[in-house]
Amino acid sequence: MIDFSKFDSLVSLTMYFNCEEKCRQTVVETRWGVGKEQDVVCPYCGQHHCKSRKDGKFRCPKCKRNFSCRVGTIFEDSKVSLLKWFIAMYLISSHKKGISSSQLGRDISVTQTTAWYMLHKIRTLFRQNDSEAFHGEIECDEVYIGGKEKWKHESMRTPHTQGRSTVTKTPIFGMLERSEIINEKGERGFMSYVRAMVVENTRKDTLQPIISQFVEDGSMVFTDELNAYNGLDKLGYDHKICNHGSLQYVVDGKIYTNNIEGFWSHFRRMITGCYHNISDEHLQSYIDEAVYRWNTRKADESARFSDMFLKSIGLIVTWNELKLCRVA
Ligand SMILES: [Zn+2]
């Protein structure tokens, strides 16, 4: 198995992946093992021990189909070299605010259309893992995308334009777990993890089932005074409200939602700085990207690249899932 920790810069990445064959070999070995241990599995029928062919592809002895190492990965159906894909994944994961398709196109010399397609494929690797639940101290908050007013500071907003149910804005709901981490030197530090999603509306019957699904019972839940959060106590949470309407921002030292608001502003900067207008259709994938950046912000470049590489070859993300979000 390849040691990803050496890819601490784009230079070290391209020095290692110096030809297409090296890239191909890495995909093959990471998916199916090395040398005698290697067991190539047919992506179509699941048959083990498929044979290598002279042209670099494999042949399944059962369904008799030939396949390349790209089948079942995000690189399938693409003529772009693996090297360009690897560089694209590295660039996307290391740019703090993301990268535009025109910039990526220039960086790896593909057309802007191709770069746009690659970005959308790569963004599927950021999808949030629904099997993880939060516990401990959780901040919940909602935000609207599409209108400009929500982004302004309270004192700058035009009165009566904060309609929570306007059709021009899309509501997003977010949860943030406050965590403590210990680094290699044994120093303790604060860390927070976010889960966020597009929601139909911000009513109680929409938000509370989401909280129930993703926050463990007994957790302390911090919210603003929105009515939708009333009754969280009855669901088994220790619910604390920070009343923004009466300009309360921190109560008793820890009753606040400032961290999740920090995430929203990070998300806003990513959109305004790089992607400008986002269609509702793709909004969730941009949220996933912002969440991924936030949740891996203390990981180094090589760890992020390793995670993305493994997902790209289908070790976590399945091809079926990817098909659903392919760009037409
Ligand atoms: Zn087969």
Q: How far is the CA of 320 from the centre of ligand 1 (A)?
A: 17
Q: What is the pLDDT of residue 304?
A: 86
**From 18-32, 50-64, 279-293, the region with the lowest mean pLDDT:** 279-293
- Phi-psi category of 98—alpha, beta or left, where left has phi over 0 and alpha has psi -120 to 50? left
Question: What's the distance, CA 6 to chain centroid?
Answer: 23
Q: What is the pLDDT of residue 319?
A: 32
Residue 27's pLDDT band (boundaries 50, 70, 90)?
very high
C-alpha distance across the termini of the chain, in Å: 35
Q: How far is the CA of 2 from the centre of ligand 1 (A)?
A: 27
Residue 146 has pLDDT above 80, yes or no: no
3-state SS assignment for residue 189 = strand
Q: How far is the CA of 252 from the centre of ligand 1 (A)?
A: 62
Q: How far is the CA of 77 from the centre of ligand 1 (A)?
A: 18
Q: How far is the CA of 46 from the centre of ligand 1 (A)?
A: 6
Residues linked to residue 215 through DSSP beta bridges, in sequence order: 134
Q: How far is the CA of 312 from the centre of ligand 1 (A)?
A: 21
The CA distance from 46 to 133, in Å, is: 32
Q: How far is the CA of 63 from the centre of ligand 1 (A)?
A: 4
Angle between helix axes 258-270 and 280-295 (nearest 10 degrees) is 120
325 phi and psi, to 5 degrees?
-110, 25
pLDDT tens digit string along 276-300? 666 777 889 889 999 988 988 888 8
The CA distance from 289 to 20, in Å, is: 28
Q: How far is the CA of 67 from the centre of ligand 1 (A)?
A: 9
Cβ atoms 221, 135 nearer than 8 A: no
Q: What is the pLDDT of residue 298?
A: 80
For CA atoms 148, 153, 157, 161, the dihedral sign is positive
Ion ligand 1 neighbours, Cβ < 5 Å: 42, 44-45, 47, 60, 62-63
The CA distance from 135 to 253, in Å, is: 19
Q: How far is the CA of 43 from the centre of ligand 1 (A)?
A: 7
Average the pLDDT over 104-115 and give the result: 96
Q: What is the pLDDT of residue 32?
A: 94
Residues linked to residue 239 through DSSP beta bridges, in sequence order: 221
3-state SS assignment for residue 61 = coil
Q: How far is the CA of 48 from the centre of ligand 1 (A)?
A: 8
For CA atoms 239, 244, 245, 246, the dihedral sign is positive
Residue 186 has pLDDT above 80, yes or no: no
One-letter amino acid at 307 equals: D
For CA atoms 181, 131, 93, 29, the dihedral sign is positive
Beta strand 220-223 with 238-241: parallel, antiparallel or unpaired? Answer: parallel
Q: What is the pLDDT of residue 167?
A: 59
Q: What is the pLDDT of residue 307?
A: 86
Average the pLDDT over 161-188 and give the result: 76
Q: How far is the CA of 50 from the centre of ligand 1 (A)?
A: 8
pLDDT tens digit string along 156-172? 455 555 554 455 688 99
Q: How far is the CA of 64 from the centre of ligand 1 (A)?
A: 6
- Phi-psi category of 244—alpha, beta or left, where left has phi over 0 and alpha has psi -120 to 50? alpha
The CA–CA distances, whole Å, from 42 to 67, 82, 180, 199 equal 8, 20, 43, 39
Residue 3, classified by CB atoms within 10 Å of its CB into exposed (0-12), middle (13-18) or buried (19+), is exposed
Q: How far is the CA of 62 from the centre of ligand 1 (A)?
A: 5
Q: How far is the CA of 57 from the centre of ligand 1 (A)?
A: 13
